[in-house]
A and B are shown apart, each in its own frame.
Chain A
């Protein structure tokens, strides 16, 4: 069979498939939708044949184009958002966390080390803390958690200020999460920087409140959202560290391949961690600053920490992925 014969014999099939792809761009199935797979198979077959027999560039290009568009149509993913959501939070995410538990140890160490060091240093020599915070942050902290502070509850009296703070926390904290993750691409240095810096800064804040303010005010504010926020940041940090580590030591794979795998493995951690930080923003915006009894706040905070522990230890055990 030469090229002309091939083209005359099969041209009508190609034309039909072309038309069908044109018509089926909308969401509704058309009358001949059931013919798509068989026509697509025919295109694949003809393309292989044309490539093998070298029937010239024009035919190959045309069939190649049809195959690409057809593949896209057949393999487009649709819907099932609710199911995907459940699968993710009841299986994929906690399972990914347990699989990468070593990274969690590293991230925690990198964050908690500077945190406690800074906190401890406030007791011995306050100048380190003062140097890190700067005058403006110190007066802010005294305003919020000082001994005679206008408490956070009062600042939230204005209409809509809870919502505003919620939006602020989303924009700020989830944005930082995304940067922590992306920083991993520079051999993990970006991720390490953000984790260490946040550790130092938060440690300095706690240390300074203990030095110059009323620790109870701070503690009752952060109790509710602390678990979501700290763990969320560490989980995203795990994803960033993962990328950094494979770039340093790709093992048997090429760096490109290793990076692709690290991206795929780290993705649940990025999404899950960012969702935790978003939840932290909800709690921080609408609960933490409410005028509620201090003990209730402590109880809720402790309950959240225990729930996190149980969630990461036990949820989705035995889940093998979809």
Chain B
């Protein structure tokens, strides 16, 4: 596993039993909060519908029976609405699905019913003590306490393919005549292939950090770095 501090992305490295590493893109607290609000609204609507239906069937089925049906349905919606959807092939409640999120276990696979129960039941206590969910912000994988207890993560369901926006094509190859670590090399290549998406000033700002390596600052530094990236790529 690579050193977390040196990485240029917030991707989570997971090693699978197959002996390879995959990257999971964990979802941040803000999106998850919105998903939760959506779910609350959906649950509310479901309960209102339930109430209407019970009112309609009450004269037919008798008061006691319809009261019982109401209590049972309420119990199921209240406690098991998220569980039902999270263990379905979608792997997400309706709110999460709307935002393109998914609940997975720590290897990126679907979660069990037990895990889903744990993470959803514990949320009830977490929202009662509003400082507890804030732990999400301090956890590298954005896991809240319920996620930790259940061993689950919330990730983006579709692996996002980042658009490649190369910077302006380099005019020259600049040989790199000193050794780079793999992460450094990857960072320089990423600079070339993402550079097109940034403003000129941002490119300059980033390449200025490498003044020691390129020996230049400003625009010259940028083009020299691009040249280095070009050279590194041609090596292969």
Contact = CB atoms under 8 A, between A and B. Distances in A.
Nearest to B21: A51
A246 to B, nearest CB: 9
Contact of A3 (B75, B108, B121, B236): B236
A211 to B, nearest CB: 32
B125 A190 contact: yes
B182 interface: yes
Given A58-B161, A163-B64, A270 B108 contact: no
Given A71-B108, A158-B64, A161-B64, A54 B159 contact: no
Interface residues of A, number: 60
Nearest to A67: B22
Given A68-B24, A159-B64, A58 B18 contact: no
A316 interface: no
A159 B151 contact: no
B236 A270 contact: no
Interface in A114-171: 158-161, 163-168, 170-171
B145 A259 contact: yes
Interface string B180-223: 00100110011001000000000000000000000000000000
A8 to B, nearest CB: 15
Given A71-B107, A171-B74, A2 B236 contact: yes
A60 B228 CA distance: 21
A175 interface: yes
B151 A260 contact: yes
B143 A256 contact: yes
B68 A185 contact: no
Interface in B57-105: 61-65, 67-72, 74-75, 78-79, 89
Interface residues of B, number: 63
B4 to A, nearest CB: 15
Given A41-B18, A75-B109, A166-B68, A159 B121 contact: no
Given A48-B20, A76-B109, A181-B121, A54 B189 contact: yes
B118 interface: yes
B132 interface: yes
14 contacts: A48-B21, A57-B162, A64-B22, A69-B159, A77-B110, A161-B64, A167-B69, A170-B71, A175-B78, A178-B79, A182-B124, A186-B125, A262-B149, A267-B115
Instruction: Please provide the 4 A-B residue pairs with the shortest distance between their CB atoms, ordered closest to farther.
Output: A65-B159, A263-B149, A160-B65, A167-B68
Interface of A: 1-3, 40-41, 44-45, 47-48, 51, 53-58, 61-62, 64-65, 67-69, 71-72, 75-77, 158-161, 163-168, 170-171, 174-175, 178-179, 181-183, 185-186, 190, 243, 256, 259-260, 262-264, 267, 270-271
